Protein backbone atom coordinates (compact mmCIF):
# COMPACT_ATOMS: atom_id res chain seq x y z
CA UNK A 1 0.00 0.00 0.00
CA UNK A 2 1.50 3.30 -1.16
CA UNK A 3 0.85 6.54 0.71
CA UNK A 4 1.59 10.22 0.22
CA UNK A 5 4.30 10.05 2.87
CA UNK A 6 7.51 11.41 1.38
CA UNK A 7 10.98 9.93 1.56
CA UNK A 8 12.28 12.67 3.86
CA UNK A 9 9.33 12.20 6.23
CA UNK A 10 10.07 8.48 6.43
CA UNK A 11 13.72 9.21 7.21
CA UNK A 12 12.64 11.51 10.02
CA UNK A 13 10.08 8.99 11.21
CA UNK A 14 12.71 6.35 11.86
CA UNK A 15 14.35 8.04 14.84
CA UNK A 16 11.15 9.74 15.95
CA UNK A 17 9.27 6.43 15.84
CA UNK A 18 11.99 4.74 17.87
CA UNK A 19 11.86 7.44 20.55
CA UNK A 20 8.06 7.51 20.56
CA UNK A 21 7.78 3.77 21.13
CA UNK A 22 10.48 3.97 23.77
CA UNK A 23 8.73 6.76 25.70
CA UNK A 24 5.34 5.08 25.34
CA UNK A 25 6.60 1.81 26.79
CA UNK A 26 8.81 3.31 29.49
CA UNK A 27 6.16 3.47 32.18
CA UNK A 28 5.16 -0.19 31.78
CA UNK A 29 8.61 -1.82 31.68
CA UNK A 30 8.58 -5.11 33.61
CA UNK A 31 5.21 -4.15 35.10
CA UNK A 32 1.64 -5.09 34.26
CA UNK A 33 0.79 -4.17 30.66
CA UNK A 34 -1.88 -1.48 30.34
CA UNK A 35 -5.46 -2.74 30.38
CA UNK A 36 -6.46 -0.22 27.74
CA UNK A 37 -4.37 2.04 25.55
CA UNK A 38 -0.87 2.85 26.73
CA UNK A 39 -0.05 6.47 27.44
CA UNK A 40 3.20 8.34 28.04
CA UNK A 41 2.83 8.14 31.80
CA UNK A 42 6.49 8.28 32.74
CA UNK A 43 7.77 6.47 35.81
CA UNK A 44 9.16 3.02 35.16
CA UNK A 45 12.62 1.81 36.08
CA UNK A 46 14.25 5.17 35.43
CA UNK A 47 11.56 7.31 37.07
CA UNK A 48 11.15 8.94 33.66
CA UNK A 49 9.17 12.08 32.97
CA UNK A 50 6.08 11.61 30.76
CA UNK A 51 7.37 11.42 27.20
CA UNK A 52 11.01 10.97 28.21
CA UNK A 53 12.92 8.35 26.28
CA UNK A 54 15.13 5.77 27.96
CA UNK A 55 18.51 4.19 27.35
CA UNK A 56 17.21 2.69 24.10
CA UNK A 57 17.01 6.06 22.38
CA UNK A 58 19.93 7.49 24.34
CA UNK A 59 22.26 4.88 22.89
CA UNK A 60 20.72 5.27 19.44
CA UNK A 61 21.52 8.99 19.64
CA UNK A 62 25.15 8.11 20.43
CA UNK A 63 25.26 5.97 17.29
CA UNK A 64 23.42 8.47 15.10
CA UNK A 65 25.45 11.51 16.09
CA UNK A 66 28.74 9.70 15.56
CA UNK A 67 27.70 8.31 12.17
CA UNK A 68 26.50 11.74 11.07
CA UNK A 69 29.70 13.49 12.14
CA UNK A 70 32.41 10.90 11.60
CA UNK A 71 31.06 8.01 9.57
CA UNK A 72 31.48 4.44 10.79
CA UNK A 73 34.02 5.26 13.47
CA UNK A 74 33.65 2.33 15.87
CA UNK A 75 36.04 3.82 18.39
CA UNK A 76 34.05 7.03 18.21
CA UNK A 77 30.78 5.20 18.85
CA UNK A 78 32.45 3.26 21.63
CA UNK A 79 33.71 6.47 23.21
CA UNK A 80 30.20 7.94 23.12
CA UNK A 81 28.88 4.79 24.81
CA UNK A 82 31.53 4.97 27.53
CA UNK A 83 30.99 8.68 28.13
CA UNK A 84 27.25 8.12 28.31
CA UNK A 85 27.71 5.28 30.78
CA UNK A 86 30.05 7.37 32.91
CA UNK A 87 27.40 10.09 33.11
CA UNK A 88 25.26 7.77 35.25
CA UNK A 89 22.18 7.03 33.12
CA UNK A 90 19.03 6.24 35.06
CA UNK A 91 18.69 2.78 33.52
CA UNK A 92 21.09 0.49 31.67
CA UNK A 93 20.58 -3.10 30.55
CA UNK A 94 22.52 -5.73 32.47
CA UNK A 95 24.63 -6.95 29.55
CA UNK A 96 25.39 -3.44 28.31
CA UNK A 97 26.32 -2.35 31.83
CA UNK A 98 28.64 -5.32 32.31
CA UNK A 99 30.48 -4.61 29.06
CA UNK A 100 30.73 -0.83 29.38
CA UNK A 101 31.69 -1.14 33.03
CA UNK A 102 34.42 -3.64 32.21
CA UNK A 103 36.07 -1.84 29.29
CA UNK A 104 39.04 0.43 29.87
CA UNK A 105 38.82 2.08 26.44
CA UNK A 106 36.73 2.00 23.24
CA UNK A 107 39.18 -0.43 21.69
CA UNK A 108 38.55 -2.83 24.55
CA UNK A 109 34.79 -3.09 24.05
CA UNK A 110 34.65 -5.94 21.54
CA UNK A 111 36.95 -8.11 23.65
CA UNK A 112 34.93 -7.48 26.80
CA UNK A 113 31.70 -8.18 24.90
CA UNK A 114 33.10 -11.47 23.57
CA UNK A 115 34.29 -12.42 27.05
CA UNK A 116 30.81 -11.77 28.40
CA UNK A 117 29.33 -14.24 25.92
CA UNK A 118 32.00 -16.83 26.80
CA UNK A 119 31.30 -16.43 30.52
CA UNK A 120 27.52 -16.43 30.09
CA UNK A 121 26.75 -19.16 27.55
CA UNK A 122 23.16 -18.93 26.44
CA UNK A 123 22.68 -15.53 28.09
CA UNK A 124 24.80 -13.24 25.93
CA UNK A 125 22.24 -12.42 23.23
CA UNK A 126 20.31 -9.62 24.90
CA UNK A 127 18.20 -7.07 23.04
CA UNK A 128 20.44 -4.10 23.87
CA UNK A 129 22.11 -3.72 20.49
CA UNK A 130 18.91 -4.29 18.49
CA UNK A 131 17.15 -1.43 20.29
CA UNK A 132 19.74 1.11 19.08
CA UNK A 133 20.45 -0.23 15.58
CA UNK A 134 18.11 1.96 13.48
CA UNK A 135 20.64 4.79 12.77
CA UNK A 136 22.85 2.31 10.90
CA UNK A 137 20.15 1.76 8.30
CA UNK A 138 19.79 5.49 7.67
CA UNK A 139 23.53 5.96 7.28
CA UNK A 140 23.83 3.30 4.56
CA UNK A 141 20.47 3.38 2.79
CA UNK A 142 20.52 1.49 -0.49
CA UNK A 143 23.67 -0.53 0.25
CA UNK A 144 22.73 -3.88 1.75
CA UNK A 145 26.26 -5.13 2.23
CA UNK A 146 27.33 -1.95 4.01
CA UNK A 147 24.20 -2.00 6.17
CA UNK A 148 24.83 -5.60 7.22
CA UNK A 149 28.53 -5.09 7.93
CA UNK A 150 27.99 -1.90 9.93
CA UNK A 151 24.99 -3.27 11.84
CA UNK A 152 26.98 -6.28 12.97
CA UNK A 153 30.08 -4.22 13.86
CA UNK A 154 28.11 -1.74 15.98
CA UNK A 155 26.26 -4.59 17.67
CA UNK A 156 29.52 -6.31 18.58
CA UNK A 157 30.69 -3.30 20.60
CA UNK A 158 28.52 -4.58 23.45
CA UNK A 159 26.85 -7.79 22.23
CA UNK A 160 29.20 -10.46 20.98
CA UNK A 161 26.66 -13.21 20.32
CA UNK A 162 26.03 -13.64 16.56
CA UNK A 163 22.29 -13.81 17.24
CA UNK A 164 22.35 -10.16 18.28
CA UNK A 165 24.23 -9.23 15.12
CA UNK A 166 21.80 -11.22 12.98
CA UNK A 167 18.85 -9.39 14.52
CA UNK A 168 20.46 -6.02 13.84
CA UNK A 169 21.08 -6.97 10.21
CA UNK A 170 17.47 -8.06 9.70
CA UNK A 171 15.99 -4.98 11.31
CA UNK A 172 18.26 -2.53 9.52
CA UNK A 173 17.40 -4.09 6.16
CA UNK A 174 13.73 -3.89 7.11
CA UNK A 175 14.14 -0.17 7.86
CA UNK A 176 15.91 0.38 4.55
CA UNK A 177 13.02 -1.22 2.68
CA UNK A 178 10.47 0.78 4.64
CA UNK A 179 12.16 4.09 3.86
CA UNK A 180 13.03 3.40 0.23
CA UNK A 181 10.24 1.06 -0.88
CA UNK A 182 7.40 1.70 1.63
CA UNK A 183 7.39 -1.93 2.76
CA UNK A 184 7.07 -3.51 6.19
CA UNK A 185 8.25 -7.00 5.20
CA UNK A 186 11.89 -6.14 4.53
CA UNK A 187 13.28 -8.31 7.32
CA UNK A 188 12.77 -11.22 4.92
CA UNK A 189 15.21 -9.59 2.49
CA UNK A 190 17.79 -9.54 5.26
CA UNK A 191 17.77 -13.32 5.49
CA UNK A 192 19.94 -13.37 2.36
CA UNK A 193 22.70 -11.61 4.30
CA UNK A 194 22.92 -14.19 7.10
CA UNK A 195 25.09 -17.26 7.28
CA UNK A 196 23.66 -20.57 6.02
CA UNK A 197 21.65 -22.13 8.80
CA UNK A 198 21.09 -18.84 10.55
CA UNK A 199 18.84 -17.73 7.70
CA UNK A 200 16.68 -20.83 8.12
CA UNK A 201 16.36 -20.37 11.89
CA UNK A 202 15.39 -16.74 11.54
CA UNK A 203 12.85 -17.57 8.82
CA UNK A 204 11.14 -19.92 11.28
CA UNK A 205 11.24 -17.28 14.02
CA UNK A 206 9.72 -14.67 11.70
CA UNK A 207 6.98 -17.12 10.69
CA UNK A 208 6.17 -17.67 14.37
CA UNK A 209 6.05 -13.92 15.03
CA UNK A 210 3.45 -13.49 12.32
CA UNK A 211 1.03 -16.11 13.60
CA UNK A 212 1.52 -16.84 17.31
CA UNK A 213 -0.10 -14.82 20.14
CA UNK A 214 1.96 -11.73 20.89
CA UNK A 215 2.24 -12.44 24.59
CA UNK A 216 4.01 -15.70 23.80
CA UNK A 217 7.07 -13.55 22.95
CA UNK A 218 8.11 -12.92 26.52
CA UNK A 219 10.29 -12.69 28.36
CA UNK A 220 11.77 -10.55 25.61
CA UNK A 221 15.10 -9.44 27.01
CA UNK A 222 16.40 -12.13 24.61
CA UNK A 223 17.08 -10.61 21.20
CA UNK A 224 15.07 -13.24 19.29
CA UNK A 225 11.87 -12.80 21.28
CA UNK A 226 12.34 -9.02 21.30
CA UNK A 227 12.47 -8.96 17.51
CA UNK A 228 9.57 -11.40 17.31
CA UNK A 229 7.47 -9.26 19.65
CA UNK A 230 8.15 -6.11 17.60
CA UNK A 231 7.69 -7.83 14.24
CA UNK A 232 4.54 -9.58 15.45
CA UNK A 233 3.01 -6.36 16.79
CA UNK A 234 3.52 -4.75 13.39
CA UNK A 235 2.50 -7.74 11.30
CA UNK A 236 -0.56 -8.75 13.30
CA UNK A 237 -1.99 -5.22 13.54
CA UNK A 238 -4.23 -4.54 10.52
CA UNK A 239 -3.52 -1.43 8.46
CA UNK A 240 -6.69 0.70 8.50
CA UNK A 241 -8.05 1.19 4.98
CA UNK A 242 -9.27 4.72 5.64
CA UNK A 243 -6.26 5.98 7.63
CA UNK A 244 -3.31 3.72 6.85
CA UNK A 245 -0.78 5.82 8.75
CA UNK A 246 -2.73 5.23 11.96
CA UNK A 247 -1.12 1.79 11.77
CA UNK A 248 1.89 3.30 13.57
CA UNK A 249 -0.18 4.23 16.62
CA UNK A 250 -2.12 0.96 16.69
CA UNK A 251 0.95 -1.25 16.27
CA UNK A 252 2.82 0.61 19.01
CA UNK A 253 -0.10 -0.03 21.33
CA UNK A 254 0.16 -3.72 20.40
CA UNK A 255 3.90 -3.70 21.08
CA UNK A 256 3.44 -2.28 24.59
CA UNK A 257 0.63 -4.75 25.27
CA UNK A 258 3.08 -7.64 24.85
CA UNK A 259 4.51 -6.76 28.25
CA UNK A 260 7.90 -7.39 29.88
CA UNK A 261 10.59 -5.14 28.30
CA UNK A 262 7.95 -2.81 26.92
CA UNK A 263 10.08 0.23 26.14
CA UNK A 264 12.56 -1.80 24.13
CA UNK A 265 9.99 -3.82 22.16
CA UNK A 266 8.09 -0.63 21.33
CA UNK A 267 11.30 1.22 20.44
CA UNK A 268 12.31 -1.55 18.03
CA UNK A 269 8.83 -1.60 16.49
CA UNK A 270 8.65 2.19 16.41
CA UNK A 271 11.80 2.56 14.32
CA UNK A 272 10.36 0.38 11.55
CA UNK A 273 6.87 1.86 11.81
CA UNK A 274 8.27 5.38 11.60
CA UNK A 275 10.41 4.38 8.63
CA UNK A 276 7.30 3.15 6.84
CA UNK A 277 4.65 5.70 7.80
CA UNK A 278 6.79 8.76 8.47
CA UNK A 279 7.11 11.34 11.19
CA UNK A 280 3.71 12.75 10.23
CA UNK A 281 2.11 9.52 11.48
CA UNK A 282 3.22 10.15 15.07
CA UNK A 283 0.22 11.60 16.93
CA UNK A 284 0.73 15.23 17.86
CA UNK A 285 0.10 14.71 21.56
CA UNK A 286 2.90 12.12 21.64
CA UNK A 287 5.30 14.18 19.55
CA UNK A 288 4.88 17.20 21.83
CA UNK A 289 5.85 15.11 24.86
CA UNK A 290 8.81 13.20 23.43
CA UNK A 291 12.18 14.35 24.76
CA UNK A 292 15.30 13.03 26.44
CA UNK A 293 19.03 12.86 26.95
CA UNK A 294 21.10 14.79 25.99
CA UNK A 295 18.48 17.54 26.06
CA UNK A 296 16.83 16.80 22.71
CA UNK A 297 13.24 17.08 21.50
CA UNK A 298 11.25 15.34 18.79
CA UNK A 299 12.23 18.07 16.32
CA UNK A 300 15.90 17.54 17.14
CA UNK A 301 15.55 13.85 16.25
CA UNK A 302 14.05 14.81 12.91
CA UNK A 303 17.02 17.05 12.19
CA UNK A 304 19.46 14.35 13.31
CA UNK A 305 17.87 11.79 11.00
CA UNK A 306 18.20 14.19 8.07
CA UNK A 307 21.85 14.86 8.87
CA UNK A 308 22.54 11.17 9.22
CA UNK A 309 21.00 10.21 5.91
CA UNK A 310 22.83 13.03 4.11
CA UNK A 311 26.27 12.33 5.58
CA UNK A 312 28.70 10.64 3.17
CA UNK A 313 29.82 7.22 4.36
CA UNK A 314 33.25 6.18 3.04
CA UNK A 315 33.10 2.87 1.19
CA UNK A 316 29.33 2.88 0.74
CA UNK A 317 28.00 2.09 -2.72
CA UNK A 318 24.71 3.96 -2.32
CA UNK A 319 23.90 6.46 -5.05
CA UNK A 320 24.00 10.22 -4.50
CA UNK A 321 20.18 10.30 -4.62
CA UNK A 322 20.10 8.03 -1.60
CA UNK A 323 22.48 10.17 0.45
Domains, the chain, ordered by start = 7-33+46-312 (1.10.4080.10)
pLDDT at 154: 98
User: What is the pLDDT, as a whole number, of residue 319?
Assistant: 46
Q: What is the pLDDT of residue 1?
A: 46
**C-beta of residue 157 within 8 angstroms of C-beta of residue 78:** yes
Q: What pLDDT does residue 320 have?
A: 41
SS3 state of residue 1: coil
Determine the pLDDT at residue 314: 81
> Looking at residue 136, what is its pLDDT?
98
pLDDT, block means (10 residues), the chain with 323 residues: 73 98 97 93 97 98 97 98 97 97 97 96 93 98 97 98 98 98 98 98 98 97 98 98 96 98 98 98 98 98 96 71 48
- Phi, psi angle pair for 43, to nearest 5°: 80, -135
Amino acid sequence: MRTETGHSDRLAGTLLGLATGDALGAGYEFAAPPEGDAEMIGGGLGCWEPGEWTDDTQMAVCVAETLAARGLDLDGIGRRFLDWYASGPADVGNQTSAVLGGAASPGDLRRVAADYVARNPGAGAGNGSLMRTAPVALAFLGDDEAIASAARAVSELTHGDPLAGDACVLWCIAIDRAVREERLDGARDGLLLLEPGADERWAVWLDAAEREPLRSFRPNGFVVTALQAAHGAIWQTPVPDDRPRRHLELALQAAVSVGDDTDTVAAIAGALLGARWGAAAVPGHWRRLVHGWPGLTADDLVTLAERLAAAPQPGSRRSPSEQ
